[in-house]
Amino acid sequence: MNNTILVVDDHNGIRRLMCVFLQQEGFSVTEASNGLLALQLVMEEKPSLVLLDLRMPGLGGMETLAKLRELAPETIVVIMSAYYDSIEIKKALEERLFKYFIIKPFDLEEVGILIRGLMNKSEYHNAL
């Protein structure tokens, strides 16, 4: 794993906003507009953290999440969604597929605090 963050969202505006913000915060960032591209980038780039939208056409967020867990179980995943009370999210939480969740619309300052904390935790873990 490296210190790259992968932003996965089919909505170009949200994806670009997150990428620009995270780059300004000093992170190395890559992006994917769909689940298939995201899985390819996870295998190639081995990001430390993935910001993953749940509602995407094609391979949706939950399917992407399940496959991501198979490919890279150590990768930190932060789910981004406006649908925080859906059955699929509750099921994924019960199955421990993810721990962190950002509700859309989100506050970039709060997102920055969460991401910095998780990336610092990842760096510490990788140093051991």
Q: Please report, for the chain, the start and end positions of each structural domain, with discontinuous segments joined by +.
A: 4-127
Nearest alpha carbon to residue 1 among 47, 39, 43, 41: 47
4-127 is classed CATH 3.40.50.2300: yes
pLDDT value of residue 127: 47
Directed axis angle between helix 12-24 and helix 108-127, to 10°? 60
**Would you state the pLDDT for residue 128?**
41
Q: What pLDDT is stored for residue 11 in this prediction? A: 95
* Per-10-residue mean pLDDT, the chain, length 128: 90 97 97 97 97 90 92 94 77 81 92 95 56
Cα separation of 52 and 54, whole Å? 6
Gap between the Cα atoms of 115 and 33, Å rounded: 20
pLDDT at 125: 53
